Amino acid sequence: MARSRKIKQWTGVLAEPIDDDIGTLAPQHYPVGSPEAEKWIRRRARHWNRLRIAMLPELGWQVGMKVDKFDLSTPDGLMVFLTDLVFRLALKLEIPAFMVPRSKWHPQIVYWALLKGDERRARGERNPDLTSCLEFVQRSDAKLRRNKLAAIRRPKTLRNEVFKMRRKLKVQAEADRRRGVTLWDH
């Protein structure tokens, strides 16, 4: 499923390509593969990289970072800045491994409903998960007491999330059991 992406409009120095024709011109014609040509290519690459590195703070500003809080004069401060910048860019590009899964229900509410359903199941109540989900939904939105259709649909979506979480916890517990990991190792 393709998502519609809103393309970021860059401003300032990031809106134009690096304009440094002077730094890219060779002082003379070097034979291809000669040591002088290789040396000039390496020097040109270092020059381009210096220009790109000089633009990183501006890139940080434009992706919403507070660049002033980083000490860019030390290697440690620069590394923290670059790490934060990479994470922000990964989120902007919506790389799945960096994204938090989106759900209609907050994971904590799903977990509480799961625990409440387990308590009701232990007492032997009928339909424990749906009942606990209905309770959470009614607590969160009082208008649902009047709207019967939504009052049934919303607890069912929460119950589906509870089922997914229960399945996920079961798989994780089984994997931990096979590896010999205890709860305190997490």
CA distance 186 to 176: 10
CA distance 149 to 168: 29
**Residue 88 host element (H or E):** helix 75-92
Q: Amino acid identity of 143? A: K
pLDDT, residue 36, reads 83
CA distance 90 to 83: 11
51 Cβ partners below 8 Å, 6+ apart? Answer: 18, 20, 23
pLDDT tens for each residue of the chain, 186 residues long: 445 555 567 788 787 777 666 656 666 777 777 888 888 888 888 888 888 888 889 889 988 889 899 888 888 988 999 999 999 888 888 888 888 777 788 888 889 999 999 999 999 988 888 888 888 888 877 777 677 777 778 888 889 999 999 999 899 888 888 887 665 655
Q: Amino acid identity of 176? A: D
Model pTM above 0.85: no
CA distance 124 to 88: 48
pLDDT, residue 163, reads 92
CA distance 178 to 184: 16
pLDDT, residue 30, reads 73
